[in-house]
């Protein structure tokens, strides 16, 4: 089994590192926050004094950090300290440009690199059922796959450097737009005197069906496990959805690709967050949509 350095032990990284330990790997962990380090220690990790100390002698390094600037700062420190032939994986959700810059940094030092953002949230991190969307060279992906398999159930190689991040932000742009579309349909249905259950029964078996409707329905009732039945507790918070919609808009601008619905979805989530709802599940956007509909 391998020695794996894990840097960034937050809501996602903590349980992901714990799953690597459960699978028999030796994990050397580091986070800036003492409470996260203590939890990782309780889960069976060795705790390092710094990110650089964590990666010394490791076969592979995993980073799970908030944003591109954190990833670039940590990779700039740790990549030169890594063993030749080792692998570095970033599973944070970050902008495509920073992901490509991180790959270039690793290549300069002869280190194999993979961008591998995830879908599946904290439940997937705990249950080792995440989907990993990977970008990088074939050889680096082949090295990463057996490690990622201990933390997830679906590992997809999407292409070269940054392709994992590109897939992640395109997927989440669909999700943000479709949640607003489903919310608008329920608000209009309500105005027209249609029950939520009747609209659900029709749309979930008709051409309007999508994940936002059938797995994560934004009205209470039709899908018992959806956050709508639990006062819109996240789940996947509005602030994280806004982060991902902003990443897709930044990428769209950089690529010169107009994405008008993606842009509008970003504006709608921005208004919802500005009204103080950043911590509410993203399906809570239906409250904002209902207000717009005059309900």
Cα separation of 63 and 36, whole Å?
A: 14
Q: Binding residue for ligand NAD (CB under 6 A) from 6, 13, 101, 180? A: 13
Q: Is 257 exposed, middle or buried (0-12, 13-18, 19+ CB in 10 A)?
A: exposed
Contacts of 287 (CB under 8 A, 6+ apart): 232, 277, 280
Least distance to ligand NAD, CB of residue 17, Å: 11
Residue 250 corresponds to which tokens in the numbers above?
Answer: 């930044």
- Smallest distance, Å, CB 212 to ligand NAD? 16
Contacting residue, 4, 5, 10, 223, with ligand NAD by CB under 6 A = 10
- The residue from 168, 191, 233, 253 that is catalytic is 168
The residues near 29 (Cβ < 8 Å, ≥ 6 apart) are: 5, 6, 7, 9, 17, 37, 40, 41, 45, 46, 47, 48, 54
Pick out residues in 121-140 that bind ligand NAD (CB under 6 A).
121-122
> Smallest gap, in angstroms, from Cβ of residue 117 to ligand NAD?
6
Q: Which span (28-36, 99-107, 175-183, 203-211) binds ligand NAD, by CB under 6 A? A: 28-36
Q: Measured from the CB of residue 181, what is the shortest distance to ligand NAD in angstroms?
A: 22
The number of beta carbons lying within 10 Å of the beta carbon of residue 78 is: 24
Quote the CA–CA distance of 257 and 145 in Å, as a whole number.
32
Which CB atom, from 47 or from 203, has the smaller least distance to ligand NAD? 47
Extract the tokens encoding 26: 């030796």
Q: Which of 19, 36, 259, 283 binds ligand NAD (CB under 6 A)?
A: 36
- Geometric angle at alpha carbon 138, from 133 and 144, rounded to 5°: 55
For residue 168, indicate whether it is catalytic.
Answer: yes
Q: 7 has which bridge partners?
A: 30, 63
Closer CB to ligand NAD, 59 or 95, in the complex: 95
- Asked if residue 38 binds ligand NAD (CB under 6 A), the reply is no
Q: Which stretch binds ligand NAD (CB under 6 A): 37-45, 61-69, 143-151, 192-200?
A: 61-69
Active site residues: 168
Q: Contact positions toward ligand NAD, by CB under 6 A?
A: 7-13, 30-33, 36, 51, 64-66, 70, 73-74, 92-93, 118, 121-122, 236, 240, 243
């Amino acid at each position: 089994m391998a020695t794996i350095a894990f840097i960034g032990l937050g809501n996602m990284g903590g349980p992901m590192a714990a799953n690597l330990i459960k699978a028999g790997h030796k994990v050397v962990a580091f986070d800036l926050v003492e409470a996260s380090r203590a939890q990782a220690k309780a889960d069976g990790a060795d705790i390092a004094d710094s990110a650089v100390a964590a990666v010394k002698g490791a076969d592979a390094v995993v980073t799970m950090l908030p944003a591109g600037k954190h990833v670039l700062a940590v990779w700039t420190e740790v990549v030169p300290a890594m063993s030749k032939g080792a692998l570095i994986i970033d599973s944070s959700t970050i902008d495509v440009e920073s992901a490509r810059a991180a790959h270039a940094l690793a290549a300069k030092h002869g280190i194999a690199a993979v961008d591998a953002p995830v879908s599946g949230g904290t439940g997937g991190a705990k249950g080792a059922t995440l989907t990993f969307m990977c970008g990088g060279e074939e050889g680096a992906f082949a090295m990463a796959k057996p490690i990622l398999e201990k933390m997830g159930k679906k590992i997809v190689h999407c292409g070269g450097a940054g392709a994992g991040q590109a897939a992640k932000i395109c997927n989440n742009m669909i999700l943000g737009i479709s949640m607003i579309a489903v919310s608008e349909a329920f608000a209009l249905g309500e105005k027209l005197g249609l029950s939520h259950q009747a609209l659900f029964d029709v749309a979930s078996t008709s051409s309007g069906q999508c994940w936002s409707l059938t797995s994560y329905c934004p009205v209470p009732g039709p899908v018992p496990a959806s956050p709508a039945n639990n006062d819109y507790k996240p789940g996947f918070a509005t602030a994280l959805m806004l982060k991902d919609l902003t990443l897709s808009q930044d990428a769209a601008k950089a690529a010169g690709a107009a994405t008008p619905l993606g842009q509008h979805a970003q504006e709608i989530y921005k208004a919802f967050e500005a009204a103080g709802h950043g911590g509410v599940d993203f399906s809570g956007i239906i409250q904002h949509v209902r207000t717009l509909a005059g309900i």
